[in-house]
Amino acid sequence: MLERVHFEVGETAVTIISEPEYHGIAKESIFETRDIIQRQIGLDPLFRDTLEPYLPAGSIHPILKRMCEASAMAGVGPMATVAGAVADMAVRSMRDAGARNAIVDNGGDIALLIEVPVDVGIYSGEFTSGIGFRCEPREGIFGICTSSRTVGPSISFGRADSVTVISENVLLADACATRLGNDMVSHREEDLKGAIEQVCDIEGVEGAFVVMGEKVAMKGRLPHLIRTTESTGRITTREF
């Protein structure tokens, strides 16, 4: 029986959905991943501060290397992948412990491992209340990551209410959502089209969905769009 639990530590606020015996494994993974990233920042503050692709000198932990690689593909700084990295590692830990269905929603950056259909709502404020994706079962972990100028704590230099990117690489989905959000600076259709095409041309990106005011743009291979009935109380935000 899948159960939902909310968990917070530091700046991280997640919703974990899995069988209850895997909740503790996810939480332990979140502590560990945060510690790895915080230690790197302590040694090299530029890892946290830069908004450009960056690879620290010397040997680094594999998750830090994945953050740098994914962010470089998107043309953004490593911390643009941090929420996706935390979610991805938690789902990987649950999978390695035997979980067959595991979801970690880290403030709208979601890592999923599913054998049953799952509906994922996209909250973009007043314009898209009730819009979401129906995600069908698939092999392996994948990511649905969202960035926004108007909703949540995401740093975005664009004007989009939400941009959502899907990829088997959760960190890449997170980085590309940041990139696409930054590129959404104009309501002109040709600018929307150009920005979304550039992101969808990045290897590993399956598709993207953008909400900007009353305009919606989409490209690539996306789950089926649905109307959702979940309330905003299901949005993963800080509670404590």
Domain ranges of the chain: 3-232
Q: Check: CATH 3.10.520.10 for 3-232? A: yes
Judged by DSSP in three states, 56 sits in: coil
185-189-194 Cα angle (round to 5): 70
pLDDT in tens, the chain (240 residues): 899 999 999 999 999 999 999 999 999 999 999 999 999 999 999 999 999 999 999 999 999 999 999 999 999 999 999 999 999 999 999 999 999 999 999 999 999 999 999 999 887 765 555 789 999 999 999 999 998 765 545 555 556 788 999 999 999 999 999 999 999 887 788 888 899 999 999 999 999 999 887 788 899 999 999 988 655 455 544 443
159-165-171 Cα angle (round to 5): 110
Nearest to 33 by CA among 135, 204, 171, 168: 171
* C-alpha distances out from residue 183 to 67, 78, 186, 198, Å: 20, 18, 8, 10
85-44-89 Cα angle (round to 5): 15
* C-alpha distances out from residue 116 to 30, 32, 135, 139, 239, Å: 24, 29, 9, 11, 28
